[in-house]
Structure 1
């Protein structure tokens, strides 16, 4: 329960800040180019530091590193209280980009401390917590930012959440810290960092290539979609900010319901799919069909349908990937693998938004659906191939 709460508050803070960050940066004198550049810098920092933090947690201990990351997140949020300085704001976000890896560490702790039979349910509940945070967060951030000294109030709230999470983290049980070799704890930090790099090199990445590729394809499609989401809805279909917020909430609510129901769905529908390949194929096929519908029938009401259906299949994919990932890891590399896997999101965010924006500005934003369909079609093709290979192996065995 403590881990779910930490996960929820961490993502709630992100959900509060994301919609108001561009507005705050603009009020401090940042240009559109600088705002976009900071987004890319944040994605790059998360991409490069995520695998390293995960690997370091395998050496240092996940609970220990979680406490340290939360401490630095608290410091980065304190800097947000200085709302009149653009430089201080940038420093705050750079620090957060390097240390904001709570989700990686929490997932690694869950994988180590919860029985395998209960892990799917645990990850599903974390997914539900994430969905709930992105229902409440943007709404709360918008309300607070509309008040006098709104961003200062947001900064105070973020510091409160960070302090609560930091306090809770001391009570988290992490079996690998308890049983860890004491000689590792006595090593200087330079040796710990060196060992973290060594851990990354020692992983047999051939075991995980398909999962990393599947997530990259899916996240690239989602990144292209949400990059142009507001422009298409408000600019082309005349939706208001309220209608756009409701549309996003539909996606989040669907994710919450689906994550809570995944245990029953797996039991009733996918009982014969222990390795997850069938669920993975169905997820990609469902998303591809959904965006084919959106491309053929673009419109505000189509977006409402798409957001609901998209939430269903995305929840299936997320829970399936975590199940497959954990089943392939060992006790000594869960942090390394989880950190690298979560960094795929940032890899997609580095490339796809630029491509989607370029095509949107030159050929029309509705044409960005073709990029999404390209990524998802690759996902359908490769997931179908992996499914057939797995079925052949089962018949052979």
Structure 2
């Protein structure tokens, strides 16, 4: 199987993978509530899932480098299929929690698909190929919730949706088993599974191995080592983490990292309880919720096309960040007290647009401030901020919801206000620096 065919296979696997997830996940919290689980307990389950994803990701990545992408991808897809089957087959909260723990450890199929794409794609073509892969997953985000919401409205709908998701993952297992070769084409960066031609020089092999190791150790979330690691491996990994933290100039990046944290926390806090909020405030059906989430996906995709034009209009990333953070805070505050579903749908437009622009502008500012030789480490640390928000917001949002149905929205709005104030400080500081230079 040539590289192009493998790329097309990964696009299909990515679409089916996220499609299977999006059939279930948007309405998962409503299902937990029908089983008698409080929002706080549901938040704990979802936060713990995020923790497991973060901790198991480097371990699965190392195993895929050691044993090959195909066996790890087959294992992850198979375990995920079992996890979603159990999710639909049981009404026991304990069994659901256990299934989510197992799924959290092994649900890395999307990451492995990206690794396969990187392995089989020339360096200069990777951005385009990964863009197509993300587009395929974006289509799944749009279609999955709408289809899942319609099916969940049927009798025993959640079980039906889980069974369909299980079938999708079993289909992915079959496709991977039948068409993905054990030995990938020679663009692979895996040290132990790269097919190296006889003409490749020793220096090129060493450089490839070095890049592979740097990719594995480049992010702060690689805190988990393989079982029973040697003392040398522990010291090397911890030394790398400490080095990354020390290498970051906090006087340069401290303010923008704080802005990134508060604005990301705001968006994730509201998103974490969005389904339950719509359900509790307006009694929306699963079908309606599914359509709303699909609409969010459409707006997010459209916003992605507008960010470039907005950046060209501003020509100032700091000011762009400040204004978009103000828009996010205002949208969250009005959404919190929206009187009806139509108002929620309309307010999702400025919220999605501002969140997309915030992601782009913060990344631009971080890169602009970075030394070219340290961009990977700095941006990797920036990504860990999102990982922290992903882990903490389900729990904190559910705690706020225990107090009031407006709790998550108020908490998100406060975080957005703090982020906007800090973004204003960043923009003002930038302006003063320019004035001094003149």
TM tier relative to shorter chain: 0.7 to 0.9
**Equivalent residue for 1:40?**
44
**Equivalent residue for 1:376?**
416
The partner residue of 1:250 within 289, 292, 295 is: 295
Structure-2 change in CA distance of 1:62 and 1:168 (3 Å): same
Structure 2-normalised TM-score? Answer: 0.67
**Equivalent residue for 2:221?**
none
The partner residue of 2:402 within 345, 358, 361 is: 358
**Offset at residue 374 of structure 1 (A):** 0.7
1:158 is aligned to 2:174? no
**Offset at residue 137 of structure 1 (A):** 1.4
**Offset at residue 155 of structure 1 (A):** 1.0
- Determine the C-alpha separation between the residues in 1 that align with 2:188 and 2:237: 19
**Offset at residue 218 of structure 1 (A):** 2.8
Q: Report matched runs for 1:293-312 at 5 Å.
A: 293-294=334-335, 298-312=339-353
- Greater CA deviation, 245-254 or 41-50? 41-50
**Equivalent residue for 2:323?**
282
Partners of 1:104 and 1:335 within 8 A in 2 = no
1:141 is aligned to 2:152? no
1:74 is aligned to 2:86? no
1:180 is aligned to 2:230? no
**Offset at residue 32 of structure 1 (A):** 0.8
The partner residue of 1:345 within 377, 381, 389 is: 389
Give the greater-gyration-radius structure (CA).
2
- Matched position secondary structure for 1:32: coil
**Offset at residue 301 of structure 1 (A):** 2.6
**Equivalent residue for 2:222?**
none
- Matched position secondary structure for 2:76: helix
- Greater CA deviation, 121-130 or 78-87? 121-130
**Offset at residue 379 of structure 1 (A):** 0.9
- Determine the C-alpha separation between the residues in 2 that align with 1:312 and 1:165: 36
Partners of 1:6 and 1:168 within 8 A in 2 = no
Structure 1-normalised TM-score? Answer: 0.73
1:385 is aligned to 2:425? yes
**Offset at residue 19 of structure 1 (A):** 3.6
**Offset at residue 138 of structure 1 (A):** 1.8
- Determine the C-alpha separation between the residues in 2 that align with 1:299 and 1:23: 19
**Offset at residue 234 of structure 1 (A):** 4.2
**Offset at residue 210 of structure 1 (A):** 4.3
1:17 is aligned to 2:24? yes
Structure-2 change in CA distance of 1:232 and 1:36 (3 Å): closer
- Determine the C-alpha separation between the residues in 2 that align with 1:201 and 1:68: 33
Q: Report matched runs for 1:109-258 at 5 Å.
A: 129-143=136-150, 146=154, 150=160, 151-161=162-172, 164=175, 179-181=208-210, 190-191=229-230, 195-204=236-245, 205=248, 206=250, 209-237=254-282, 239-258=284-303
- Determine the C-alpha separation between the residues in 1 that align with 2:258 and 2:109: 23
Mark the runs of 5 or more structure 2 residues left unpaired by the alignment: 1-6, 195-207, 217-224
| CA-to-aligned-CA distance 1:62-83 (integer Å, 9 cap, x gap) | 7988767644422322423455
- Determine the C-alpha separation between the residues in 1 that align with 2:172 and 2:433: 49
- Over aligned residue pairs, what C-alpha RMSD do you find? 4.6
**Offset at residue 106 of structure 1 (A):** 7.5
Partners of 1:221 and 1:371 within 8 A in 2 = yes
- Matched position secondary structure for 2:139: helix
Partners of 2:292 and 2:345 within 8 A in 1 = yes
Structure-2 change in CA distance of 1:152 and 1:105 (3 Å): closer
| CA-to-aligned-CA distance 1:368-394 (integer Å, 9 cap, x gap) | 433222111011111111222234445
| CA-to-aligned-CA distance 1:13-61 (integer Å, 9 cap, x gap) | 321221454577689xx6415x85365244235336527745996x888
Number of residue-to-residue matches in the alignment: 381
State the structure with bigger RCO (CA 8 A, min sep 6), 1 or 2: 1
- Matched position secondary structure for 1:180: helix
| CA-to-aligned-CA distance 1:325-376 (integer Å, 9 cap, x gap) | 566484764895376244123233244223321331xxxx246433222111
Mark the runs of 5 or more structure 1 residues left unpaired by the alignment: none
